[in-house]
């Protein structure tokens, strides 16, 4: 599944793959790249398949995010990749003005989204951008769907859009 | 009844000027502040056998010992997590002199944070984006203002707070800075309207006048055992309480059950009050870490000065003002009014309040609470008591 990713490196040498991305908002920056360490490769591979995935503990069956080598609920080292629903609920949001971002520019919405555990356990929160929405529309509790933005080399980045909102 | 948390006291404070451009190296700023602090204490560099740095500082204990020509150290440490580690430098120093690990420990912070690398400017940093930043940086969540936005937004949402509720803090602190000649905003008070007209940094939580004042400068603090402290130049300021608290990831505290209330401050406060035998009623002045003014509100609650959600009323009713407030807060002007020095300048202000030498001196100060950065693993101090 890693075949499409270029090999990269990081300070601790644990990087197994790199996804590159050109600026999704405009062309104000050169390509960025995201390093995936060995504990998180499953997450970025899942995104490449238009899936939002999470680790589920083989012992206590709970899920967690961000990725890590061990279940933070029971310290079990054995886990299985599981799909999350491609929808969630806005938990917090804000609009970034100055000084903005070398990647996103200015005037973009950041969102922290609650994604339910499909098995009924406690869900997870995932951060991203809320696309094609105003701050006024981005109310806590609003229903959102997961979408994927294409990176320069074909890899995908999970993002969010209000439910029922078409891509502009 | 106060119990002896340590047998340590602060005996010297020193600082450089605070500016937009120091014109000299961070190492030199550190040396200048340390020299001033040792002179304030009546000690010499050769007396120093312990150094505590911030991990974020460009000077580590060894490099600074080399610059100062210190022949040897028997205690050296760096505190973690940036501005969360400010009070921890004094905690570590106090533990060292209490145990005998060292006799004279200097804690310091030196930074050209305005003229050099500014924390408030978004940078891509390492390429590729490291795994630790992979769930934030691609989305344009880089700076502390951007990273804390979710936490502040949740606090606002859960307690029916708006940015206008923060204005009284800005006005009070700028009033304190206006009469403090070392403050970068000396003689520049503001009104509620000034605050509410300042531009959004992150809407609807942070305006420009909610954000700390990126600065160049240095502050140093000298800690010795209480048995040595009384022979020195000033009335010693005992370290009667200190604690640390870590709850979750630094600056990305988005995953724990509640993200609105500065949980690391609550954990720190519990240990601080329990191990010092003191409580909120024993505190006359508080130096609360104000990198972003909205986060002063949950700190007032976490440390027990207000019930959850009540801090906006406490500040609106003048509770933090020097004149007439139940708890004067950031009497030097804070990080938004005096300078952003990772909170070390607030520790110096606490010492001045207890010596009775602050330019904005509060009345009858027996104990001062100092906090470090919320939103990252943090620390706190209680200074004062019997001397």
Q: What tens digit of pLDDT does each residue of A100-141 get?
A: 998 899 999 999 999 999 999 999 999 999 999 999 999 999
**pTM as predicted:** 0.93
| DSSP one-letter string for A58-124 | TTT--EESS--SS-TTT----EEEEEPPSEEEEEEEEEE-SS-BTTTBSSEEEEEEEE--TTSS--E
Output phi, psi for A152, to 5 deg.
-55, -35
Chain A residues close to B375, C-beta within 8 Å: none
What is the rounded distance in angstroms from the CA atom of residue B342 to the CA atom of residue B346? 9
Burial class of residue B281, CB neighbours in 10 A (0-12, 13-18, 19+): exposed
Q: What are the tens digits of pLDDT across the range B5-30?
A: 999 999 999 999 999 999 999 999 99
Residue of B nearest to A44 (CA): B134
* Active site (annotated) includes residue B340: yes
Tokens 């990273």 correspond to what residue?
B147
Q: Is the peptide bond before B206 cis (omega within 30 degrees of 0)?
A: no
Chain A hits for B204, Cβ within 8 Å: 94-95, 135
Residue pairs spanning A and B at CB distance below 8 A:
127
Q: What is the ipTM of this complex?
A: 0.94
Q: Quick check: B141 and A127 CB within 8 A?
A: yes
The whole-chain average pLDDT of chain B stands at 95
What mean pLDDT comes out for the span B39-49? 97
Q: Give pLDDT tens digits for B286-333.
A: 999 999 999 999 999 999 999 999 999 999 999 999 989 999 999 999
Q: Are B254 and A99 in contact (CB < 8 Å)?
A: no
| Cβ contact, residue pair B139, A104, below 8 Å | yes
- Paired tokens of A12: 């601790």
Phi, psi of B8 (to 5 degrees): -135, 150
Q: In what order do the strands lie in the sheet with B378-384?
A: B75-79, B50-54, B104-112, B216-225, B8-15, B237-245, B378-384, B367-371, B285-287
Enumerate the residues of chain B whose CB falls inside 8 A of the CB of residue A112: 150, 254
> Do A127 and B126 make contact, defined as CB atoms within 8 angstroms?
no
Q: Which two tokens stand for residue B135?
A: 């769930």
All residues of chain B having their beta carbon less than 8 Å from the beta carbon of residue A109 are: none
Q: Which of the residue ranges B84-88, B132-136, B150-154, B367-371 would you say has the lowest mean pLDDT?
A: B132-136
* Closest approach of B320 to chain A, Cα-based (Å): 28
């Amino acid at each position: 599944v890693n075949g499409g990713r270029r090999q990269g490196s990081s300070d601790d040498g644990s990087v197994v793959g790199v996804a590159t991305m050109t600026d999704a908002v405009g062309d104000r920056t050169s390509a960025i790249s995201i390093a995936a360490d060995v504990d998180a490769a499953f997450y970025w591979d899942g995104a490449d398949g238009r899936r939002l995935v999470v680790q589920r503990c083989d012992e206590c069956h709970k899920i967690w995010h961000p990725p890590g080598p061990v279940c933070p609920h029971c310290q079990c080292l054995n886990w299985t990749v599981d799909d999350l629903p491609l929808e969630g609920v806005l938990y917090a949001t804000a609009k970034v003005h100055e000084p903005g971002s070398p990647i996103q520019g200015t005037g973009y919405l950041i969102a922290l989204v609650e994604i339910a555990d499909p098995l009924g356990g406690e869900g997870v929160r995932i951060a991203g951008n809320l696309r094609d929405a105003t701050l006024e529309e981005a109310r806590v509790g609003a229903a959102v769907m997961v979408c994927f933005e294409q990176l320069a080399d074909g890899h995908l980045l999970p993002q969010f859009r209000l439910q029922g909102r078409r891509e502009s | 009844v106060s119990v002896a948390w340590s047998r340590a006291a602060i005996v010297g404070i020193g600082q450089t000027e605070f500016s937009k451009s120091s014109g000299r190296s961070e190492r030199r700023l550190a040396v200048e502040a340390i020299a001033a602090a040792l002179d304030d204490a009546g000690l010499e560099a050769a007396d120093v056998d312990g150094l505590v740095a911030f991990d974020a500082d460009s000077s580590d204990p060894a490099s600074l010992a080399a610059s100062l020509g210190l022949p040897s150290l028997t205690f050296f440490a760096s505190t973690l997590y940036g501005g969360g580690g400010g009070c921890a430098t004094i905690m570590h120093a106090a533990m060292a002199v209490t145990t005998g690990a060292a006799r004279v420990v200097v804690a310091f912070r030196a930074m050209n944070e305005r003229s050099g690398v500014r924390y408030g400017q978004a940078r891509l940093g390492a390429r590729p984006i490291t795994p630790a930043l992979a769930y934030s940086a691609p989305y344009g969540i880089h700076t502390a203002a951007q990273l804390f936005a979710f936490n502040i937004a949740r606090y606002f949402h859960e307690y029916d707070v708006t940015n206008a509720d923060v204005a009284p803090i800005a006005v009070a602190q700028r009033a304190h800075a206006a009469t403090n000649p070392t403050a970068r905003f000396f003689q520049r008070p503001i009104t509620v309207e000034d605050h509410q007209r300042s531009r959004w940094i992150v809407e609807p939580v942070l305006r420009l006048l909610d954000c700390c004042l990126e600065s160049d400068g240095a502050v140093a603090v000298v800690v010795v055992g209480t048995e040595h402290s009384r022979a020195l130049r000033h009335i010693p300021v005992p370290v009667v309480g200190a604690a640390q608290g870590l709850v979750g990831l630094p600056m990305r505290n988005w995953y724990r059950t509640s993200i609105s209330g500065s949980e690391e401050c609550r954990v720190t406060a519990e240990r601080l009050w329990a191990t010092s035998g003191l409580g909120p009623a024993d505190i006359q002045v508080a130096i609360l870490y104000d990198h972003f003014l909205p986060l002063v509100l949950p700190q007032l609650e976490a440390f027990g000065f207000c019930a959850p959600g009540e801090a906006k009323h406490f500040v609106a009713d003048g509770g933090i003002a020097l004149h007439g407030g139940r708890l004067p807060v950031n009497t030097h002007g804070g990080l938004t009014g005096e300078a952003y020095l990772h909170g070390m300048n607030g520790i110096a202000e606490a010492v001045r309040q207890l010596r009775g030498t602050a330019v904005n001196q509060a009345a009858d100060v027996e104990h001062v609470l100092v906090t470090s950065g919320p939103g990252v693993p943090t620390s706190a101090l209680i200074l004062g008591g019997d001397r």
